[in-house]
Structure 1
Amino acid sequence: MTTPTQNDVQQEYQHYYVPAQSAWPIVGAIALFFIAVGAGSTVADLFGGNGPYILFAGIGVLIIMLVGWFRDVIRESLGGLYSDQMDRSFRQGMSWFIFSEVMFFAAFFGALFYARLIAVPWLGGASNNAMTAELLWPDFIPTWPLEKTPGGLETTAMGAWGLPLINTLILLSSSITIHIAHVALEQGNRQRLKIFLGLTVLLGWIFLGLQAEEYVHAYEELNLRLDSGVYGNTFFLLTGFHGMHVFLGSVILFIIWLRVMKGHMTPEHHFAFQAGAWYWHFVDVVWLCLFVFVYIL
């Protein structure tokens, strides 16, 4: 029986790649700061009307950060620098990121449920609050959605069976196409992978185009705006942030599609594709919740 040498012991372990220091995280933080300030100042009409410029500057810096950071990660991956341990680290990181996104939307759904189940009945005189309700808003009718604000602004609720239903069917279809693309990748069917991954991206862009049309309809014909009381607030915050996530997911999948067209991704190593698919399925589940609790109920 031979005693294992130090080299034999070392061969049992794979290398662990430690990336070099990068400026992209701080660049991304700066971009998000400008986006937050620009969006807030645009809504509140601060900084002499320069809010949109700050917002678009932040978006521009964010795009530069994404391009640069994606480029570095792709180069490291193609260079064979990542081990199985790095792959597990990526999976854990993506899992925690999606969990943080779940908590993000849970906060907005919590605000929606609080307004509908607690604040609105309270203003209507529930829980022995009739006297306070009479003083605050005498003619208030505790129904949802609230189509009349305390300031007298009257709106019309967005229906569920027009564009929202079409967009729901589009996103459900995109979940099927991304799954077919994933199976094709695992089976080594590159042609089917290219077609169905590209179709998924196209469906995401169609969704965003129809959502923009829905917003135009809401503003011009329904008088439904971001300042249309708590109903307008919750409607545009939930659907708007979801639309932003659809945009980000479609960008991720588009980049992966470009990589597939260049011959990247193999049946054994394709976590970038898996991460994009996880994110896309998460976006689809959030939309189903939105469709039920915002549009139908």
Structure 2
Amino acid sequence: MADAHAKPNHDYHIIAPSPWPFLGSLGALIMAIGGVAWMQYLKQGNFPFFGFNLASSHWYLFAIGLAIVLYTMYGWWGDTIKEAHEGHHTRVVSLHLRYGMIMFIASEVMFFVAWFWAFFDASLFPNEVHQVARAEFTGGVWPPKGIEVLDPFHLPLYNTIILLLSGTTVTWAHHALIHGDRKGLINGLALTVGLGVLFSFVQAYEYIHAPFTFHDSIYGATFFMATGFHGFHVIIGTIFLLVCLIRAMKGDFTPKQHFGFEAAAWYWHFVDVVWLFLFASIYVWASVGATIAHGH
């Protein structure tokens, strides 16, 4: 009986009791409360919560929650890697992992649809009669009056080339893995991580020297929300690929079993595609007829 339980006659994996869902939820709750307290602190310096003013400890709460979430990610995904090494990722389990990643990316697509919707709603209808406040805020034109936009064929084009190159290097790494070329896998991943870091530095430089701010108008708000969240996803994807690089250097992944790397590659290609839409709409299309900021 014990042997039958240890080696069940099915392709499904019954997961052992795990602390990670509860711990991750607790960390997310603390981080959310800390984040709200932080924003209230910046706004008015007061955040009453069950008789306590959490505004004074906003930073500590946020940091504690973030630390718990990061520890949960490390432990939970570490357990998943261990399960794979122990042979629990059967054909059925691997298929379900793929379904899970596909649904996650689909949810991310809808997340960015919201920001594109906000951008196009404001840009295509800047002078709607029933939106008088918006018309006054934009001057009835897009980009709003007084706003100088970034030159799309300067740093944005440079970052587009960087991301397109990173898409080719991660594909090179994938093909190298499939053909058992460990050196090609490591080199391709290393180049992809380097290009991801370079993209983030270029975007940070662009933000610092942008001729408009988040508070200037709805143009600045939609621009920084859409491109900023994309930049956050680039950072997440870079870390994802960095973990895959470390695992590859340790000898993980085989031509037949490498979903951890495959998921990272899917995520990275998703980030690439979103950027192409951002570049085409928010940078190029929105700059037509607009005043280009000199030197940007």
Scaled to the shorter chain, the TM-score interval is: 0.7 to 0.9
Distance in 1 between residues matched to 2:254 and 2:30, nearest whole Å: 38
**Within the alignment, does 1:267 sit opposite 2:274 as a pair?**
no
- Preserved contact between residue 147 and residue 231 of structure 1 (Cα < 8 Å): no
Distance in 2 between residues matched to 1:213 and 1:114, nearest whole Å: 28
Name the counterpart of 1:215.
207
**Within the alignment, does 1:29 sit opposite 2:25 as a pair?**
yes
2:232 to 244, 248, 262: 244
Greater relative contact order (CA < 8 Å, ≥ 6 in sequence): 2
- Per-residue Cα deviation, 1:25-77 (whole angstroms, up to 9, x for no partner): 23333333444444455455254465444443333222212111121111111
**Offset of residue 228 of structure 1:** 2.0
**Offset of residue 281 of structure 1:** 0.1
1:184 to 176, 187, 200: 176
Name the counterpart of 2:141.
143
**Offset of residue 284 of structure 1:** 0.5
- Per-residue Cα deviation, 1:161-217 (whole angstroms, up to 9, x for no partner): 222111111111000000000000000011011001111111111111111111111
**Offset of residue 229 of structure 1:** 2.0
Which secondary structure state, in structure 2, belongs to the residue aligned with residue 121 of structure 1?
coil
Residue 121 to residue 138, structure 1, CA distance change in 2 (3 Å): closer
Residue 175 to residue 80, structure 1, CA distance change in 2 (3 Å): same
Give the CA RMSD over aligned residues: 2.5
Which secondary structure state, in structure 1, belongs to the residue aligned with residue 148 of structure 2?
coil
5 Å-filtered alignment, 1:222-233, equals 222=211, 224-233=212-221
Name the counterpart of 1:62.
69
Residue 139 to residue 188, structure 1, CA distance change in 2 (3 Å): closer
Distance in 2 between residues matched to 1:136 and 1:172, nearest whole Å: 36
**Within the alignment, does 1:121 sit opposite 2:109 as a pair?**
no
Please give the TM-score of this superposition, normalised by the length of structure 1.
0.82
**Offset of residue 21 of structure 1:** 2.4
Distance in 1 between residues matched to 2:237 and 2:137, nearest whole Å: 44
Q: Which amino acid aligns with 1:263?
A: G
Distance in 2 between residues matched to 1:295 and 1:56, nearest whole Å: 34
Q: Which amino acid aligns with 1:22?
A: S
Residue 193 to residue 80, structure 1, CA distance change in 2 (3 Å): same
Residue 38 to residue 285, structure 1, CA distance change in 2 (3 Å): farther
Q: Which amino acid aligns with 2:28?
A: L
Query: What count of residue pairs does the alignment treat as equivalent?
Result: 268
Distance in 2 between residues matched to 1:140 and 1:229, nearest whole Å: 7
Residue 292 to residue 50, structure 1, CA distance change in 2 (3 Å): farther
Q: Which amino acid aligns with 2:177?
A: L
Name the counterpart of 1:200.
192
Residue 163 to residue 270, structure 1, CA distance change in 2 (3 Å): same
**Within the alignment, does 1:89 sit opposite 2:89 as a pair?**
no
Q: Return 5+ residue gaps in structure 1 as ranges.
A: 1-10, 149-154
Residue 60 to residue 215, structure 1, CA distance change in 2 (3 Å): farther
- Preserved contact between residue 31 and residue 58 of structure 1 (Cα < 8 Å): yes
Identity of aligned residues (%): 39
- Preserved contact between residue 14 and residue 83 of structure 1 (Cα < 8 Å): no
Q: Which amino acid aligns with 1:91?
A: R
Which secondary structure state, in structure 2, belongs to the residue aligned with residue 101 of structure 1?
helix
Q: Which amino acid aligns with 2:169?
A: T
Name the counterpart of 1:76.
83
- Preserved contact between residue 208 and residue 246 of structure 1 (Cα < 8 Å): yes
- Per-residue Cα deviation, 1:65-103 (whole angstroms, up to 9, x for no partner): 211112111111111122111001101000101000011
Distance in 1 between residues matched to 2:267 and 2:94, nearest whole Å: 17
Distance in 1 between residues matched to 2:205 and 2:38, nearest whole Å: 21
- Per-residue Cα deviation, 1:90-136 (whole angstroms, up to 9, x for no partner): 01000101000011111111111111123x121xx5xxx6xx84x98
Distance in 1 between residues matched to 2:225 and 2:12, nearest whole Å: 42
Distance in 2 between residues matched to 1:139 and 1:84, nearest whole Å: 56
Name the counterpart of 2:267.
279
